[in-house]
């Protein structure tokens, strides 16, 4: 049996903290480093910081120390607004980590960097080759929802005319003020929140990658954006959302294939249940509708702390299930990414819909598995 994977968590925010909690439970993983941005976290024990008891690993704000560290992989979670363009700080740091020989698994970008052009792909791939390492992007959405679950559900259809996916997320228990402000909570309706840029990038990539896995080229991404406006003051954990300010969103992204809307992803994030469309229940849940032949598929599922006990949260842990559903796919891909050939690692399933079965063998030609 191989020794435990040596793992670094880069960015102990809402997702990073969920990663640390889960890593410390698993004997096959060894937490060897935590990179923090907040000086107040420097030199604090990662476990004690989360109220879990000593972990034996002290957080650091010294990025160079992490680059020099001996580790199998880095779970890379910079702030949600981090740019992932060709020469951005986050991209350059990811390349340094890859060049240092550490595999990188992330939830902030690069789900399908080909969407941003071949130059970015070649830069990331060159870093992987230099360090004999691999890069993989995952999470719940993008990551798990479309590229893996939706693709698997197409396996019942020989032809498909449309796919629609909806994500509903109750944001009322988010503890991060930065996260809430990034989504737009409390901002005047005249301001554009960070989530628009992040969403345009991430949701565009997940749609293009999903269609690529199905063997379909996307001509363009179209979007529709609507914000909910608070009818009254809302007191959230880290901040107040005054009446008349942004109090949630309803975004729709459409992948255009052959001149038509082939796949639509709808994001519905809220704090006031009155903003939900009629018949929509609270919580973190998803709906998928695939219109196809000879079989169409309709699926709905919910993220919970316990399905048996009907719990959204476990006692003493108010982390949203969606954050754990972002963190856990990152953890579960560690052995796959560490064993992969140097390069970009994309999710692949089998026995799913493609327009022509003769093309099934390689829907993403030239990419690393």
- The 10s digit of each residue's pLDDT in 201-212 is 999 999 999 999
* Residue at 364 is within a domain: no
Q: How many CB atoms within 10 Å of residue 258?
A: 8
Angle between helix 14-23 and helix 321-332 axes, rounded to 10 deg: 60
* Helix, strand, coil percent content, the chain, rounded in steps of 5: 30, 30, 40
Strand partners, 163: 263, 290
Residue 81's pLDDT is: 76
28 with 96, same domain? yes
Average pLDDT over residues 261-269: 98
* Residue at 282 is within a domain: yes
* Residue at 79 is within a domain: yes
279 with 303, same domain? yes
Q: Dihedral sign, CA of 314, 318, 322, 328?
A: negative
27 with 58, same domain? yes
* Residue at 228 is within a domain: yes
Sheet bearing 220-229, strands edge to edge: 220-229, 246-257, 260-270, 159-170, 284-293, 297-303
- How far is the CA of 57 from the CAs of 33, 44, 51, 94, 181, in angstroms? 6, 8, 14, 22, 31
216 with 293, same domain? yes
* Residue at 368 is within a domain: no
Model confidence pLDDT, tens digit, residues 271-292: 999 999 998 988 889 999 999 9
* Residue at 349 is within a domain: no
Model confidence pLDDT, tens digit, residues 66-125: 999 999 999 999 987 788 999 999 999 999 999 999 999 999 999 999 998 899 999 999
Q: Please check whether residue 66 is in contact with residue 33, taking contact to mean a CB–CB distance below 8 angstroms.
A: yes
Residue 287 is classified by DSSP as E
Q: Please check whether residue 270 is in contact with residue 247, taking contact to mean a CB–CB distance below 8 angstroms.
A: yes
Report the mean per-residue pLDDT for the chain.
92
For the cut 80, the answer to whether the pLDDT of residue 353 exceeds it is no
172 with 288, same domain? yes
3-class secondary-structure state, position 95: helix
3-class secondary-structure state, position 218: coil
Q: Give the domain range for residue 250.
A: 145-319
- How far is the CA of 148 from the CAs of 59, 211, 268, 340, in angstroms? 33, 12, 21, 18
* Residue at 217 is within a domain: yes
Three-point CA angle 207, 210, 215, nearest 5°:
120
Residues 38 and 341: their CA atoms lie apart, in Å, by 35
Strand partners, 252: 224, 266
Contacts of 87 (CB under 8 A, 6+ apart): none
159 with 67, same domain? no
99 with 182, same domain? no
25 with 89, same domain? yes
Task: Name the band, by pLDDT with cuts 50, 70 and 90, for residue 178.
Answer: confident
151 with 120, same domain? no
Task: Name the band, by pLDDT with cuts 50, 70 and 90, for residue 316.
Answer: confident
At 234, which CATH number? 3.30.360
155 with 84, same domain? no
At 32, which CATH number? 3.40.50.720
pLDDT more than 90, % of the chain: 81
pTM for the model: 0.91
Task: Name the band, by pLDDT with cuts 50, 70 and 90, for residue 350.
Answer: low
Alpha carbon of residue 276 to chain centroid:
23
Task: Name the band, by pLDDT with cuts 50, 70 and 90, for residue 367.
Answer: low
Residues 130 and 144: their CA atoms lie apart, in Å, by 29
Q: Please check whether residue 216 is in contact with residue 355, taking contact to mean a CB–CB distance below 8 angstroms.
A: yes
Task: Name the band, by pLDDT with cuts 50, 70 and 90, for residue 369.
Answer: very low
pLDDT more than 70, % of the chain: 94
Residue 192's pLDDT is: 95
Instruction: Name the token pair of 258.
Output: 């052959």
The number of distinct structural domains making up the chain is 2
300 with 226, same domain? yes
Residue 132's pLDDT is: 98
190 with 219, same domain? yes
* Residue at 294 is within a domain: yes
Task: Name the band, by pLDDT with cuts 50, 70 and 90, for residue 368.
Answer: very low
């Amino acid at each position: 049996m191989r020794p435990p994977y040596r793992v670094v968590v880069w960015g102990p925010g809402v997702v990073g903290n969920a990663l640390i909690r889960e890593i410390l439970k698993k004997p096959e993983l060894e937490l060897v480093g935590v990179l923090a941005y907040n000086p107040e976290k420097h030199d604090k024990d990662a476990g004690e910081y989360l109220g879990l008891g000593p972990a034996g690993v002290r957080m650091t704000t010294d990025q160079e120390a992490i680059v020099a560290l001996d580790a199998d992989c880095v779970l890379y979670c910079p702030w949600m607004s981090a740019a992932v363009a060709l020469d951005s700080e986050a991209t350059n740091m990811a390349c340094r980590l890859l060049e240092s020989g550490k595999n990188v698994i992330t939830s902030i970008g690069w789900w399908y960097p080909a969407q941003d052009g071949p130059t970015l792909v070649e830069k990331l791939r060159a870093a992987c080759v230099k360090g004999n390492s691999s890069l993989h992007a995952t999470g719940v959405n993008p990551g798990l929802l479309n590229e893996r679950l939706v693709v698997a559900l197409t396996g019942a259809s020989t032809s498909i005319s449309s796919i629609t996916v909806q994500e509903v997320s109750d944001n009322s228990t988010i503890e991060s003020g930065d996260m809430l402000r990034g989504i737009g909570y409390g901002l005047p309706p005249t301001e554009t929140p960070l989530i628009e840029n992040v969403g345009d990038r991430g949701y565009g990539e997940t749609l293009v990658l999903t269609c690529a896995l199905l063997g379909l080229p996307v001509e363009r991404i179209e979007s529709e954006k609507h914000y909910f406006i608070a009818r009254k003051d809302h007191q959230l954990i880290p901040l107040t959302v005054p009446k008349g300010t942004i109090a949630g969103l309803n975004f729709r992204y459409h992948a255009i294939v052959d001149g038509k809307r082939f796949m639509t992803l709808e994001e519905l994030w809220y704090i006031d249940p009155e903003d939900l469309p009629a018949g929509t229940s609270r919580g973190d849940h998803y709906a998928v509708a695939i219109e196809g032949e000879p079989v169409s598929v309709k699926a709905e599922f919910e993220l919970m702390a316990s399905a048996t006990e009907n719990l959204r949260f476990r006692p003493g842990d108010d982390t949203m299930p969606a954050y754990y559903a972002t963190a856990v796919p990152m953890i579960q891909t560690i052995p796959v990414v560490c064993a992969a050939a140097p390069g970009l690692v994309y999710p692949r399933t089998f026995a799913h819909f493609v327009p022509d079965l003769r093309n099934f063998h390689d829907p993403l030609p030239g990419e690393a598995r």
